[in-house]
Structure 1
Amino acid sequence: MRKLTQTELAHRVWKDRQYLYKIEKGKVTPNVFTIAMIALALDISLSELLEDVVLE
């Protein structure tokens, strides 16, 4: 997994830093394309990115 700042990650996934912050805090739900772009930017698989997601 790459170590990126929110700003660097935002640039790689064509989103702004505030949007990524909102994703982290659970304030917005990203679409599948954005989730896939985040996984690619972090150099990990989708399953790795989502393995700790807990459905309520």
Structure 2
Amino acid sequence: MRAPYTRPHGVSHLFAAYDLSEGNLDGHIQPTKNSTERLELCRYLHSLYPPEIRSR
């Protein structure tokens, strides 16, 4: 069964990650969904933590 609605202006995609230890939800809204946007989110999440925490 097809959906009874259209999306004439497109959709947005939310890339998010939940930090269980801090209770934070970090994310980015992107117009497309591909591996480049996923890598951008991973790099952003990686930058949130200092090097001594990243190496654990």
TM-score (ref. length: structure 2): 0.27
Instruction: Give the strand-richer structure, 1 or 2.
Output: 2
Give the number of the structure whose alpha-carbon radius of gyration is greater. Answer: 2
TM-score (ref. length: structure 1): 0.27
Instruction: Give the helix-richer structure, 1 or 2.
Output: 1
